[in-house]
Chains A and B, each alone.
Chain A
Amino acid sequence: MAHAAGPGTRPDDLDIEALERQLHSPRLPRFATPALGTVGIALAALLYLGLGQGLAVSIVVGWLVFVVGLFVMSRLVEGSRKSRDRLATSLVTSAFVVALLPLASLLWQVISKGAPVVSSTFLSASMRNVVGEGGGIYHAIFGTLLVTGMATVLSVPIGLLTAIYLVEYGTGRLSRSITFLVDVMTGIPSIVAGLFAYALFAIFFGEGVRMGLGGAVALSVLMIPLVVRSGEEILKLVPADLREASYALGVPKWRTIAKIVLPTALAGIVTGVTIATARVIGETAPLLIICGSTDSTNFNLFGGRIMTLPVYIYGQYKNPGIPPEFSVDRAWGAAFVLTVIVMLLSLIARLVSHFFSPKKA
């Protein structure tokens, strides 16, 4: 190598070929990964269909052949760094697929068994005087919407104001203890929340009370910590620059929070609230205790039993009539509708965060 080559002189004996080899190392052809994947799948199919091996064994063998084969081929052709990269990529991708499988299979189950059940009668009839075939979830849909809606109405102001206190005002022991209690509340089993609401309402209305409002209270016990947590994280993301810019204009702190911090964080807050709502809408245990179960439509949150979708599903599955098929079908139909509602909520959250987030360019 020419160490003495000064500026302007051409380093004649610089090994251009060695440099080329360094920069252009050989690569596996682009079709290597899909080709090897096909080989793996074909092998698994052969083992399962042709040689009568178990399904799990066949899949594992096919997968191993793909992962190890790709690693070895890459090691031989491309060298050790690239081969390790390929190994890590296939492991991470496999983990992703494994994580996705239960979700996909769950959705498939719910859709294939639930969607055919849904009809206009199913959506517009209650279970009043229904034995065997027929009936629907009208009363449960409205019960769920009312109870969850009320829970949201109760939780959002409390949760959001707590989050504002923690981020904007809280210092010292009080804020630390609130944070600790919120963390504890996040872990409360939902059945305990139901028992709490029951005990609370039993004080005022006597033992055996069943009331939609109680269900809303139980759900908001579960929902408040979620709202506080997400609100806190979002408010912390609002740059301190913006608060200072507002203070420097002579704007008082409460106005800065109301007019600058909250609008800037609005999209995140709404997303957090929607996700918290979606999270509690499927709760069964607390509603079973405090809302009870009924076959009739009840729009009154303040009086009497009120049906909700999760409790409906539980009831139809637990106490099917004879023959049981109609009940089980109705349970799947209700499960499908509940899943659709949750998905709609997630969709709304995405739309809101798309349309409300601060505009750029």
Chain B
Amino acid sequence: MAKSIEVSDLNIYYGSFLAVEGVTLPIAARSVTALIGPSGCGKSTFLRSLNRMHEVIPGARVTGKIIIDGRDLYDSDVDPVEVRRNIGMVFQRPNPFPTMTISENVIAGVRLNGKRISKPDAAELVERSLRGANLWEEVKDRLNKPGGSLSGGQQQRLCIARAIAVEPQVLLMDEPCSALDPISTSAVEDLIHELKENYTIAIVTHNMQQASRVSDTTAFFNIAGVGSPGRLIEYGTTTKMFSNPDNPATEAYISGRFG
């Protein structure tokens, strides 16, 4: 069910402002691709354009091609809602639905899409998704408590469970650990390792160690200055990027020397 993504010559705009320019990047199936770079360089914007969440913002638009499964995501006959069903997303801040219980949160993607699901099927899906997100053991006795009653790290894993419950082909993660403590971060990283078996994962992170721990491929974005668009500087296997990158800017950023 995992699919690879081919991005070519992607320009991303907010109104007339060009935020990201000329990105060409293959994202391999069943692997983790880390997007790194300084703040404001367009990593998150790029990630959001991969499941057409970018266009939720008024005036935002995209040119170029994102090919998944032989089809361009931005073809005029492609329904963005359908795209998002196949490409799930986990956000920087955990955002469980406050009106729902833990189990309702997990099956929210199914229920909200108007699909009928029988009680045993729902219970099975809840358990499978929560086990998939390494959260089952911690919450199995309080599935009817509100989702907001969990700790931050648990909420984030609940959001991951919610995202994988709709069985997407690709999972996008926008700094999923930036609000978590080291123990929760480690739990989420272990989870990413397991999810790699079945999903194509793209993750934005500011944590170099995290990028080197979880990813197979790393892409480095940079920005020339305020107001200029972000660009993809280089990409390659994580081992190569962290040991012997081609571009001096990449090496400077990864080793902590900037500019």
Contacts and interface: CB of A to CB of B under 8 A. Distances in A.
Contacts of B149: 359-361
A248 interface: yes
A284 B163 CA distance: 55
A132 interface: no
Contacts of A256: 112
Nearest to A360: B148
A236 to B, nearest CB: 15
A267 to B, nearest CB: 10
Contacts of B96: 245
18 contacts: A244-B91, A245-B95, A246-B97, A247-B53, A248-B53, A248-B89, A249-B108, A249-B113, A249-B163, A250-B84, A250-B166, A251-B81, A252-B81, A255-B113, A255-B114, A264-B97, A358-B146, A361-B146
Nearest to A258: B112
Nearest to B112: A251
A245 B114 contact: no
B85 A250 contact: yes
Given A171-B58, A244-B53, A248-B91, 6 more contacts: A241-B95, A246-B112, A249-B84, A252-B81, A358-B148, A359-B99
Interface in B10-56: 51, 53, 56
Interface residues of A, number: 25
Contacts of B112: 246, 249, 251, 255-256, 259-260
A60 interface: no
A242 B81 contact: no
Contacts of B121: none
User: What is the size category of the interface that chain B forms with chain A?
Assistant: 20 to 34
Interface of A: 171, 239, 241-252, 255-256, 259-260, 263-264, 266, 358-361
A249 B99 contact: no
B166 A249 contact: yes
B45 to A, nearest CB: 14
B196 interface: no
A239 B109 CA distance: 18
Interface string B154-172: 0000010011001000000
A249 B56 contact: no
B99 A247 contact: no
B66 to A, nearest CB: 16
A28 to B, nearest CB: 45
A241 B91 contact: yes
